């Protein structure tokens, strides 16, 4: 069955239709109109799967998608132009140009935490670059998976964009097919499986993975503002965000003040009774809620800590070490452990000693500290004096490094990711430089020595 879908896509791609810019622009517009037509069903599905209220679902998923489509439509023509560059002296009078071309059919494997955005944002880039695509939404967000299948069937024929619903077995079947590119968002464990499957057929991959993203707060930070922005970053989607601030590294001198401010921000955002707040999202399933509850067994709870079904209170934790389970895995829930540091270099050493994070946040008013952290630590991306928002810019690429992934997308970075660039040298037929041809001689060598160094 997967073979049939892909064969039809390969035939459609070979027809050349997707290469036309007019076709791509129209496809983006069709998707935009589809999203608007299906808005109610999509927002309802996000509520059913994750308890997301309309505002949060619109701000973090649907609105981001519509913005990305608008941005791509506006810039597509410019991105699709050949990138011309001057030839070096020894190559003259040639001209050089890089021609973007679509790969063919792209497989997009999506996670459950932003089940709409993380399935369709890569699709926007794949379409802009002229590819066909097969989407495999996450089975752990079934309502959104069905809503995406209905949306795509309403917009496109499966020979262009198809949706395969299902679990790991469906992914495994798809990974056996000869796709031209694989775009995966998910955890490190499955990322390795995907990369191994891709390697068997030498298929290029982009892996958007996760990890523990640190958040540093130093003694010069505006603590009330930092607390608000950290709390917002942690509580959005109840902490089930790949770029959520996973844990805090706080300068000892401001820890108590920051804790007070964080507790106030948690109350302001999730209310006095978060477990019954209809706008506060739930954990994706019982197994994950149970896992999160287990992480509360070590350390001291400074606020929160209660669970009711799939809801868990915003929780601050203290008194932890790197050996505790909560510090050994990506938390992916509304739990925020606080570690303290005395010297910035100690905090930086702790971060550098661990796998490279997807995001890093630093709250400080000191420019030298900002430069030091940005200059010395490796991480996918991040913010100075904020959380999450770097993901929202269509003008910057987004992706991980090391254990947090490889490859970047969003806006033009997506266009580049989903394109192969053919490097072509256009040579003159009027002039033919004899120096390159045998028989070689001392005089040819001496010319080369002058023009090539």
Half-sphere exposure of 26 (CA within 13 A, CB side): 9
Contact call for residue 245 and ligand NAD (CB under 6 A): no
Strands 311-312 and 307-308: antiparallel
Structure tokens belonging to residue 59? 């701000």
Helix (H, G, I), strand (E, B) or coil at 214: strand
The rounded distance, in Å, linking the Cα atoms of 417 and 442 is: 46
**376: Cβ–Cβ under 8 A, 6 or more apart, which residues?**
348, 352
Q: How many residues bind ligand NAD (CB under 6 A)?
A: 26
From the list 342, 305, 341, 345, the residue with the least C-alpha distance to 322 is: 341
For residue 190, the surrounding DSSP H or E stretch is helix 188-200
Residue closer to ligand NAD, measured from CB, 142 or 204: 142
Backbone dihedral angles phi then psi of residue 383, each to the nearest 5 degrees = -140, 150
- What is the pattern of x (binds ligand NAD, CB under 6 A) and - over residues 137-166? -xx---------------------------
Q: DSSP characters for 104-145? A: SEEEEE--SSSTTHHHHHHHHHHHHTT-EEEEE--TTSHHHH
Cα gap 21→57, rounded to integer Å: 31
Minimum CB–partner distance for residue 358 and ligand NAD (Å): 5
Residue 340 pairs in a beta bridge with 250
Establish if 239 lies at the interface with ligand NAD (CB under 6 A): no
Cβ nearer to ligand NAD, comparing 103 with 112 = 112
Paired with 84 in beta bridges are 97
Q: Candidates 6-14, 19-27, 59-67, 112-120 — which segment interacts with ligand NAD by CB under 6 A?
A: 112-120
**415: its two tokens:** 């266009």
Q: Which two tokens stand for residue 23?
A: 């076709």
In angstroms, give the least distance from the CB of 185 to ligand NAD: 5
Q: Which of 9, 18, 60, 113 binds ligand NAD (CB under 6 A)?
A: 113
Q: How far is the CB of 391 from ligand NAD (least distance, A)?
A: 8
User: What tokens appear for 185 in the block?
Assistant: 């968002």
Draw the binding track, 399-438, toward ligand NAD (x: CB under 6 A; -: no contact): -x----x---------------------------------
The one among 64, 109, 155, 362 contacting ligand NAD by CB under 6 A:
109
355 phi/psi in degrees, rounded to 5? -55, 145
What's the rounded Cα separation, in Å, for the pair 18 and 196? 29
Enclosing H/E stretch for 250 = strand 247-251
Nearer Cβ to ligand NAD, position 208 or 386?
208
Binding to ligand NAD in span 167-226, by CB under 6 A: 167-168, 171-172, 185-187, 190, 193, 208-210
Contact 248/227 with Cβ under 8 angstroms? no
For ligand NAD, give the closer residue by CB, 98 or 139.
Answer: 139
**Closest distance of CB 78 from ligand NAD, Å:** 26
Exactly one of 112, 363, 379, 415 binds ligand NAD (CB under 6 A); that residue is 112
Both tokens of 114, joined, read: 């932003």
Question: What is the closest distance, in whole angstroms, from the C-beta atom of residue 169 to ligand NAD in the complex?
Answer: 8
- What is the pattern of x (binds ligand NAD, CB under 6 A) and - over residues 312-341? ------------------x-----------
Q: Which of 24, 47, 136, 311 forms a contact with ligand NAD (CB under 6 A)? A: 136
Q: Which residue is nearest to ligand NAD (CB)?
A: 210
Q: Which of 159, 208, 313, 330 is catalytic?
A: 208
Closer by beta carbon to ligand NAD, 90 or else 355: 355
Q: Catalytic residue at 242?
A: yes
Q: Tokens 């707040």: give the residue.
A: 277
| CB of residue 427 to ligand NAD, shortest distance in Å | 43
Task: Please pick, among 242, 313, 330, 383, the residue that the annotation labels catalytic.
Answer: 242
Residues 6+ apart with CB under 8 A from 316: 259, 262, 263, 266, 301, 302, 303, 304, 336, 338
Min CB(287)–ligand NAD separation in Å = 11
State which residue, 223 or 283, has the beta carbon closest to ligand NAD. Answer: 283
Stretch binding ligand NAD (CB under 6 A), from 9-17, 63-71, 108-116, 438-446: 108-116
Q: Is 77 in the active site?
A: no
Q: 31, 128, 242, 362: which one contacts ligand NAD (CB under 6 A)?
A: 242
Q: Which helix (H) or strand (E) holds 318?
A: strand 315-318
Active site residues: 208, 242
* Residues in contact with ligand NAD by the rule CB under 6 A: 109-113, 118, 136, 138-139, 167-168, 171-172, 185-187, 190, 193, 208-210, 242, 330, 358, 400, 405
């Amino acid at each position: 069955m997967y073979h049939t879908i892909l064969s039809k896509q390969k035939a459609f791609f070979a027809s050349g239709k997707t290469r036309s810019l007019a076709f791509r622009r129209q496809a983006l517009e069709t998707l935009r109109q589809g999203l608007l037509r299906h808005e109610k069903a999509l927002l309802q599905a996000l509520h059913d799967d994750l308890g997301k209220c309309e505002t949060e679902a619109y701000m973090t998923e649907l609105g981001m998608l519509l913005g990305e489509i608008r941005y791509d439509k506006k810039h597509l023509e410019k991105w699709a132009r050949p990138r011309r560059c001057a030839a070096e002296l020894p190559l003259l009078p040639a001209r050089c140009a890089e021609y973007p071309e679509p790969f063919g059919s792209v497989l997009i494997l999506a996670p459950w935490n932003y089940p709409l955005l993380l399935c369709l944002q890569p699709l926007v880039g794949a379409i802009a670059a002229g590819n066909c695509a097969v989407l495999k939404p996450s089975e752990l967000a079934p309502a959104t998976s069905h809503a995406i299948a209905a949306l795509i069937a309403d917009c496109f024929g499966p020979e262009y964009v198809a949706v395969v619903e299902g679990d790991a077995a469906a992914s495994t079947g798809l990974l056996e097919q000869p796709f031209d590119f694989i775009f995966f968002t998910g955890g490190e464990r499955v990322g390795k499986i995907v990369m191994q499957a891709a390697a068997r057929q030498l298929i290029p991959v982009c892996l958007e993975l996760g990890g523990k993203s640190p958040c540093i707060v130093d003694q010069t930070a505006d603590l009330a503002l930092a607390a608000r922005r950290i709390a917002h970053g942690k509580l959005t989607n109840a902490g089930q965000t790949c770029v959520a601030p996973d844990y805090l590294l706080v300068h000892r001198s401001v820890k108590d003040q920051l804790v007070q401010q964080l507790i106030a921000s948690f109350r302001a955002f999730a209310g006095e009774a978060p477990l019954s707040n209809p706008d506060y999202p739930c954990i994706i399933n019982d197994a994950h809620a149970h896992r999160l509850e287990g992480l509360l067994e070590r350390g001291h709870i400074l606020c929160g800590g209660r669970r009711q079904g799939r809801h868990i209170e915003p929780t601050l934790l203290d008194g932890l070490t790197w050996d505790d389970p909560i510090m050994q895995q990506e938390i992916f829930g509304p739990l925020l452990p606080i570690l303290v540091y005395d010297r910035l270099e100690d905090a930086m050493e702790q971060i550098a000693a661990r796998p490279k994070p997807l995001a890093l946040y630093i709250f400080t008013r000191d420019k030298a500290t900002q430069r030091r952290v940005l200059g010395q630590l490796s991480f996918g991306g991040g913010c100075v004096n904020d959380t999450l928002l770097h993901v929202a810019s269509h003008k910057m690429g987004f992706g991980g490094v090391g254990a947090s992934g490889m490859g970047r997308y969003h806006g033009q970075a997506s266009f580049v990711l989903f394109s192969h660039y053919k490097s072509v040298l256009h040579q003159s037929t009027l002039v033919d430089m004899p120096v390159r041809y045998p028989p070689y001689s001392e005089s040819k060598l001496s010319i080369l020595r002058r023009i090539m160094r």
